[in-house]
């Protein structure tokens, strides 16, 4: 198994005391979760992505857009974390400090067992008021549009839409994890979308060793100490097994 990976990579992981991981859409795609654009098919092919991913679009047709999210969430709940998700959770057994930053909203990392997850773009597991800061509640499994008990406005998915700011506390936590890790592992992310694209470079600037795992090269790849090409669901379990064969 170890011959599949560079011995320097294995030594880097075994010596790691603090690991920060960044995952993008490629991680979820391997579980069969369609992207937003891929989901705009069939009954939903009359929607533009801006209609289902902006507050203005939601408020124009709240019931219709809620129906789209209800269907999309059912698709997410129907799939399971892949072996790559499971392997990332297993890293917590071998490395003292593991922080996982994700651009995905599907909560598959938590379902796989990861305990320290920063969801940059929110989660489809919770909802909040579209008009004010009236608290966050669990997602109601209903096709009908829920309304805020405080003001009567439509409730909305607790995700970040176009034109909205990311949660400052989450950005600060991700920046801190990037500044203080000794190894940074980027998986299935394009390296193009800020602020997530800045975290690997922040880690590198603070002397962390950068590992890039993707299906193909990205703008991040040339900065990585180690580059792995292939599906995360195959490479990550093999990498964990090769690094800690005694486990």
Is 116 annotated to bind ligand?
no
Distance, CA of 152 to CA of 131 (rounded, Å): 9
Residue 45 marked ligand-binding: no
**Phi–psi pair at 87, nearest 5 degrees:** -65, -40
- Cα distances (angstroms) measured from residue 57 to each of 152, 158, 164: 18, 15, 13
| Residue 181 known to bind ligand | no
Which residues lie below 8 Å from residue 151, measured CB to CB, with a gap of 6+? 129, 131, 132, 134
Is 107 one of the annotated binding-site residues?
no
129 annotated to a ligand binding site? yes
Sequence-ordered list of residues with C-beta below 8 angstroms from that of 94, at least 6 positions apart, any chain: 13, 240, 243, 244, 247
Q: Is 103 annotated as a binding residue?
A: yes
Look at residues 225, 181, 185 and name the one whose alpha carbon lies nearest to residue 203. 181
Q: Does 216 show up as a binding residue in the annotation?
A: yes
148 marked as binding residue: yes
Tell me whether residue 189 is annotated as binding: yes
Consult the annotation and say whether 82 binds a ligand.
no
Nearest to 5 by CA among 187, 245, 246, 170: 245
- Does 215 show up as a binding residue in the annotation? yes
Burial environment of residue 38 by CB neighbours within 10 A (0 to 12, 13 to 18, 19 or more): exposed
In the set 121, 206, 223, 226, the catalytic residue is 121
The yes-or-no answer on residue 226 being catalytic is no
Q: Tell me which residues are annotated as active site.
A: 121
Binding residues: 103-106, 129, 148, 188-190, 214-216, 232
Binding residues for Zn(2+): 129, 148
Binding residues for NAD(+): 103-106, 188-190, 214-216, 232
């Amino acid at each position: 198994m170890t011959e599949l990976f560079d011995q320097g990579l294995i030594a880097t992981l075994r010596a790691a005391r603090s690991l920060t991981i960044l995952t993008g859409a490629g991680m979820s795609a391997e579980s069969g979760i369609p992207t937003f654009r891929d989901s705009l098919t069939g009954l939903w092919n009359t929607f533009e992505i801006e209609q289902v991913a902006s507050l203005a679009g939601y408020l124009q047709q709240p019931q219709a857009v809620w129906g789209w999210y209800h269907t999309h969430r059912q698709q997410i709940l129907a799939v399971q974390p892949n072996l790559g998700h499971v392997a990332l959770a297993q890293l917590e057994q071998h490395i003292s400090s593991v922080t996982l930053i994700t651009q995905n909203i599907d909560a598959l990392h938590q379902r796989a067992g990861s305990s320290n997850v920063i969801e940059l773009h929110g989660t489809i597991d919770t909802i909040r008021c579209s008009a004010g800061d009236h608290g966050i509640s669990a997602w109601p499994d209903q096709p009908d549009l829920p309304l805020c008990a405080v003001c009567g406005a439509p409730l909305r998915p607790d995700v970040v839409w176009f034109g909205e700011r990311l949660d400052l506390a989450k950005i600060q936590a991700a920046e801190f994890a990037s500044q203080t890790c000794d190894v940074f592992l980027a998986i299935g992310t394009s390296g193009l979308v800020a602020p997530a694209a800045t975290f690997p470079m922040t880690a590198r600037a603070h002397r962390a060793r950068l590992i890039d795992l993707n299906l193909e090269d990205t703008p991040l790849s040339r900065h990585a100490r180690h580059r792995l090409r292939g599906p995360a669901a195959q490479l990550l379990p093999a990498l964990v097994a090769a690094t800690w064969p005694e486990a």
